[in-house]
Structure 1
């Protein structure tokens, strides 16, 4: 009976991770619509599923209330940021949106708390592997057998999106998938061929999505994985190695600064990063109008009826986020929110190094890997503090998993 309960709980966790990945449901409900198509979908079913996940998560946390309280005390800055998001309803430009989004953020963060408190890092990676294996298989099926859904037709018909609504969604998830299988293949002797095969398929899907920024992020993160391994060496070797790497990195930085077209051309981008660099100054101007507390969590991007209308008119297109996680956080919670995030982030990051230093397995590098991904992906995407997002949930779990 106990074994059945454990397996049932693991199945719940995998299905929840799949839901938080943003895969399948929205794509199917939209009928395979492109990014420029105006389609209204009935999201009541999705809300019911999330409500069930929230309820089960809370029950599981209550059943292990002592462990839950222990982990709740671990990260003051993380939970302060979540609380600030909820409190921002007091000054939000759209209180109803802030109420809805902060409710989702709290509940999805509780799932991150559950994930960290219930499973070891090794178990977390194995459960993520199941999640991504399902996504990989279904992405190939959707793209090959159901191209209306699996291929983004409004982008010249050659960009794969798999089970996501946009090719960048597939690209971003395949970065996390690649590193999950990379670490498992690197560390695991038994069935390592399966993990390396899944890693290879993740790379293939990443390339087929033509998400240039995701490819660059993956290459940097793989390099970071081996750099983190250096932290386990004796100090007499660490210091000169890091100095040499810093010198090489600085040289590469200056070279790319003087030859940006080569880098952008290699990843299929223009110098504006597909209009992002033209959008960011407009967003920064709006941030400085309410610099300290922002517009409230989710209170800025309200279409033509909100503050975003000025940006839409000036930019000549209609983005729903600033394509930068740090700017998105400033819009929502101001410089106060950004500061609270970075205080918590760097504390967790440094403790991640301490965990790597005191351990010997690749599993213990996972929190640093995901936090590095957060740093990189937030430069071009806005999922830093996004509710019901796998990226945020794994950040919560990683941050709590490294706390001593």
Structure 2
């Protein structure tokens, strides 16, 4: 049986394959630690073999995407000064190949297919967590939280946040009806339940804020481009004033108190302080990508013991910028921050200057969500993580020309020339 190329690599015609590929990728990101190397091979098998179908269409030109690859390449180069070269080499290659897969998906998957795949994938992985999930005791605050099939309630909360967001934008931004509307509603309710059960203050707050910001940008889009910019700037000023008032007026402590937290964020402020001190040991290039949290090193061993991490793994500084500074120094921090900020600002600009840009509307919400979480999590720094996949997917879309993607030339039907009637000779 011969499979048409368009059913695999044409964004207009590969909806079925793209939806399945995105859904399976989400499942692998969620549970690769549980299912091991086989699941990672499945993830690679979904995207890398498409290069052999049509390498020009799948890969494209990377001249305009070098800024996207900057951090991943620098992470690989850090092996030359890494405190744990073998760990850095393996993790750097994994991260770079993960970014390449995200950029391949970006070229081949439309925004509607991404949302449908995310809704399906999130629904499946949350059902799996409900079926095989457990409760864990947090030794720092003495509370039990539902972590699902994950190792942390924050991971479950993040996927629940994504489930709510994608279930929300499916009908609101893409106008999904029928079966996908019903599926979005069901996944949204399931995600809301998991979000509450996880008791993750970070995920609850960021989910509520991102839905509010998305609705605000939606309302701004009804204005003319000139008025959009003015209202957007006014919103930033008002939001900054509210944030400052919340910090100095005790609003933050009140909100955290609702989740049983205090102003130290259950020890995170102390962890940030330790991270800043560790970053000063090598401020320019860091200790090497993923070369800090290595068993046998005195400082991580001390922190694991202080925070009751018996497994001595899967821990970090709970701040993307501090983690990047420790591992890759100021250079790596600048490269990673450039990708994150350029993605947020790029899609914001498109929303403020273009009318009815559905793609940027959806990706804007994802980028802002990742930006907010970057202050308390490291969603975009690890390979095989849904956060880094979505970041590079959204960043890559900025490098494509706006408008509908054209089909490859070989998929465009060729019309035969009309047959000319025989010329009559008149005498």
TM-score (norm 2): 0.81
Tell me, which stretches of 5 or more residues in structure 1 are unaligned? 28-44, 143-148
2:331 to 303, 328, 336: 336
Q: Does 1:202 pair with 2:191?
A: yes
1:53 to 43, 50, 71: 43
User: How much has 1:349 moved relative to structure 2?
Assistant: 2.4
Q: Which piece of structure 1 moves more, 214-223 or 258-267?
A: 258-267
After the TM superposition, which residues 12-161 of structure 1 pair with which residues of structure 2 at under 5 Å, given as runs? 12-20=21-29, 22-23=30-31, 26=33, 46-70=36-60, 72-142=62-132, 149-152=133-136, 158-161=144-147
Contact persistence 1:75–1:344 (CA under 8 A): no
The 1:372–1:391 alpha-carbon spacing in structure 2 relative to 1, beyond 3 Å, is same
Q: What corresponds to 2:365 in structure 1?
A: 369
Distance in 1 (alpha carbons) for counterparts of 2:228 and 2:256: 33
User: How much has 1:375 moved relative to structure 2?
Assistant: 1.0
1:167 to 109, 128, 153: 153
3-state SS of the aligned residue for 1:161? Answer: strand
Q: What corresponds to 2:420 in structure 1?
A: none
Contact persistence 1:151–1:157 (CA under 8 A): no
Distance in 2 (alpha carbons) for counterparts of 1:247 and 1:65: 46
Distance in 1 (alpha carbons) for counterparts of 2:255 and 2:276: 26
Contact persistence 2:253–2:262 (CA under 8 A): yes
Q: Summarize deviations over 1:160-184 as a string: whole Å, max 9, x none.
A: 2223222111101111111111100
Tell me, which stretches of 5 or more residues in structure 2 are unaligned? 9-13, 402-427
**RMSD after superposition:** 2.6
The 1:329–1:162 alpha-carbon spacing in structure 2 relative to 1, beyond 3 Å, is same
Contact persistence 2:75–2:92 (CA under 8 A): yes
The 1:306–1:393 alpha-carbon spacing in structure 2 relative to 1, beyond 3 Å, is farther
Higher helix share: 1
Distance in 1 (alpha carbons) for counterparts of 2:47 and 2:229: 44
After the TM superposition, which residues 343-362 of structure 1 pair with which residues of structure 2 at under 5 Å, given as runs? 343-356=338-351, 357-360=353-356, 362=358
Distance in 2 (alpha carbons) for counterparts of 1:362 and 1:110: 24
Q: Which piece of structure 1 moves more, 224-233 or 86-95?
A: 224-233
Q: What corresponds to 1:41 in structure 2?
A: none
Q: Summarize deviations over 1:327-354 as a string: whole Å, max 9, x none.
A: 1111111010111122233333232123
Q: Summarize deviations over 1:118-153 as a string: whole Å, max 9, x none.
A: 1111111111111012123223333xxxxxx33335
User: How much has 1:51 moved relative to structure 2?
Assistant: 3.0
Q: What corresponds to 2:379 in structure 1?
A: 383
1:322 to 314, 317, 320: 317
The 1:116–1:247 alpha-carbon spacing in structure 2 relative to 1, beyond 3 Å, is closer
The 1:341–1:181 alpha-carbon spacing in structure 2 relative to 1, beyond 3 Å, is same
After the TM superposition, which residues 209-224 of structure 1 pair with which residues of structure 2 at under 5 Å, given as runs? 209-224=198-213
1:278 to 261, 264, 270: 270
User: How much has 1:387 moved relative to structure 2?
Assistant: 1.0
1:396 to 392, 396, 406: 392
Distance in 2 (alpha carbons) for counterparts of 1:157 and 1:338: 34
The 1:274–1:91 alpha-carbon spacing in structure 2 relative to 1, beyond 3 Å, is same
TM-score (norm 1): 0.85
The 1:14–1:90 alpha-carbon spacing in structure 2 relative to 1, beyond 3 Å, is same
Contact persistence 1:294–1:334 (CA under 8 A): yes
